[in-house]
Structure 1
Amino acid sequence: MNKKKKLLLFLGMAALIIVLTGCGTGQVDQSSTGIWDRYIVYNFGRAIKFLSFGNAGIGIILFTIVVRIILLPLMHFQNKSMRKTQELQPKLKELQEKYPSKDSESVRLLQEEQQKLYSEHGVNPFSGCLPLLVQLPIMMALYQSISRIPSLQEGTFLWLHLSEPDRLFVLPVLAAIFTFLSSKLTSMAQLEVQGSMKVMNYGMPIMIFVMAINLASGLSLYWVVSNAFQVLQTLLINNPFKIRKEREEEEQRKRELQKALRKANRPKKKRK
């Protein structure tokens, strides 16, 4: 994905956050009107209360786990697409060398060839953004349900008032740590880590930390559980240590095969 597309995606996500945050004010209950308030925010609150077992914090934790389980097929698709994209990196580099993007014509040809290559191998370069795009409205609906539904506004969990920031900074720190671990494990599974990925590995945890110290601790709790789930899922399904070991073994087999071929093709010395 080129820089312009990444910028457009970022601006689109920022616009989505602004729109959803401003979708309504005031308390939400069964008499609320509008699709966002009545059918999304209110029902999110109902789901959390159903899962609460007397404590809203437990409801948020269980709700987060349910959401992550529902998103598992999408995450699996993302991981498969990312691995395919990584396998195409050598060919993509060849195209970039062939079309160095020094003029508009070479840029156009490069984009056409890249799209053709993606299509031939069934790769969607935007698939890595899908889980994030899906989770954005979920996070905003969760945030508004905590801050606008009276029974959740008054909810507590351990030392937390769920509609207020965590004054001890425990959840912001944990959210940042698990966000970093999730990004780091994902990047470790890639053949080549690009500069943008390195920036995301450190920039995203910082952004999550800053947001978590200012927003409702119920949302921070969602981030902690969601990213901890992501770390566990990565280790179980897309373990980067296992992937790296498999690649090293494959490279070792290739070296041994090349060595055997060179030895087989080496001219034999004639006996005297």
Structure 2
Amino acid sequence: MKKRILLLLGIVSVFLLLAGCTEINKPINAESTGFWNEYIVYPLSWVIVKGAEILGGSFGLSLIVVTILIRLAILPLMIKQTRSSKAMQALQPEMKALREKYSSKDQKTQQKLQQETMALFQKHGVNPMAGCFPLIVQMPILIGFYHAISRTREIADHSFLWFDLGDKDPFYILPIIAGITTFIQQKLMMAGQEHNPQMAMMLWMMPIMIVIFAFNFPAALSLYWVVGNLFMIVQTYFIKGPDLRKVQESGKAGGAKK
């Protein structure tokens, strides 16, 4: 779990570095050179602009449609993440037993705990890092959106609902919704694992980080994150529906006993 947190922080650091230091003031167009511009930023810019032309000139609607298309494209990876989460949830009793067996904090015992835990993962074919892969894939897309929006004037200058796509949300409504939907999505993914202190920390850390970023970046990125989260919430509910109902019922039963 510590590795997942460190990986998350590393990805965030790369996001901040690229967002702040990569030709952000240079307009993007078909003549832009470099792998990043040619294969990430310009294609996203082009798709958003063409989508707006089809949707009556609304860049906001175009962003929503493009976000859904991207989510559909990475859906197999997200399903794998959800299944990995279910597998991890199923292993919680055995992992708890291992932690109790090797409860001593000395280095030798902790190394033995790690070895036994990895052996447990291998036995059941579980990859504990699988949950990070979708985040790794999404970060370049998110950074690409940032550059496509900021470096394409017709997108950045366009208004949608109550905000300008290229500016911060003046009322901070989208950042707050982004944080709430991130929390809900994380809660569904981690159903049954909340008792784990490290998982509980992740449950709160991601939404807080998203809100902080959303406060400081264009509202279009918050729109992308909110739409993506809503997609994930629906997807997770349908994939983990029976398990979620079991967790809810066990929670109610536990509450009744108290």
TM-score, normalisation: structure 2: 0.86
Identity %: 40
- Give the letter aligned to residue 42 of structure 2: Y
Could you say which residue in structure 2 is the equivalent of 1:46? 46
Structure 1's 209 and 246: CA in aligned 2 closer, same or farther, altered over 3 A? closer
Q: Which moved more, 1:192-201 or 1:115-124?
A: 192-201
Give the whole-Å Cα distance in 2 for the aligned partners of 1:178 and 1:245. Answer: 19
Determine which of 139, 143, 158 is the counterpart of 1:140.
Answer: 143
Give 5+ residue unaligned stretches, structure 1. Answer: 249-272
- Tell me if the contact between 1:142 and 1:219 (Cα under 8 Å) persists in the aligned partners: yes
Supply the RMSD in Å over aligned alpha carbons. Answer: 2.1
Give the whole-Å Cα distance in 2 for the aligned partners of 1:144 and 1:215. Answer: 11
- Tell me if the contact between 2:4 and 2:132 (Cα under 8 Å) persists in the aligned partners: no
Please give the secondary structure, in 1, of the residue aligned with 2:82. helix
- Tell me if the contact between 1:154 and 1:161 (Cα under 8 Å) persists in the aligned partners: yes
Is 1:216 aligned with 2:179? no
Output aligned runs, 1:36-75, within 5 Å: 36-52=36-52, 53=55, 54-75=57-78
Could you say which residue in structure 2 is the equivalent of 1:170? 173
Please give the secondary structure, in 2, of the residue aligned with 1:51. helix
Is 1:130 aligned with 2:122? no
Structure 1's 210 and 12: CA in aligned 2 closer, same or farther, altered over 3 A? closer
Could you say which residue in structure 2 is the equivalent of 1:104? 107
Is 1:82 aligned with 2:85? yes
Could you say which residue in structure 2 is the equivalent of 1:15? 13
Give the whole-Å Cα distance in 2 for the aligned partners of 1:75 and 1:27. Answer: 33
- Give the letter aligned to residue 206 of structure 1: I
- Deviating above 4 A after TM superposition, structure 1's stretches of 4 or more consecutive aligned residues are 245-248
Structure 1's 82 and 111: CA in aligned 2 closer, same or farther, altered over 3 A? same
- Tell me if the contact between 2:189 and 2:236 (Cα under 8 Å) persists in the aligned partners: yes
| Structure showing greater relative contact order (alpha-carbon pairs closer than 8 Å, 6 or more residues apart) | 2
Structure 1's 232 and 46: CA in aligned 2 closer, same or farther, altered over 3 A? same
Q: Which moved more, 1:238-247 or 1:86-95?
A: 238-247
Could you say which residue in structure 2 is the equivalent of 1:251? none
- Give the letter aligned to residue 233 of structure 2: V
| Deviation of 1:192 (Å) | 4.9
Give 5+ residue unaligned stretches, structure 2. Answer: 252-258
Give the whole-Å Cα distance in 2 for the aligned partners of 1:66 and 1:173. Answer: 24
Post-superposition Cα deviations, 1:168-208, rounded to whole Å, max 9, x if no partner, equal 22212221221222122223x32553122323333332332
| Deviation of 1:166 (Å) | 1.1
Give the whole-Å Cα distance in 2 for the aligned partners of 1:16 and 1:106. Answer: 35
Could you say which residue in structure 1 is the equivalent of 2:205? 203
Could you say which residue in structure 2 is the equivalent of 1:30? 30
- Give the letter aligned to residue 20 of structure 1: L
Could you say which residue in structure 1 is the equivalent of 2:192? 190
Give the whole-Å Cα distance in 2 for the aligned partners of 1:233 and 1:243. Answer: 18
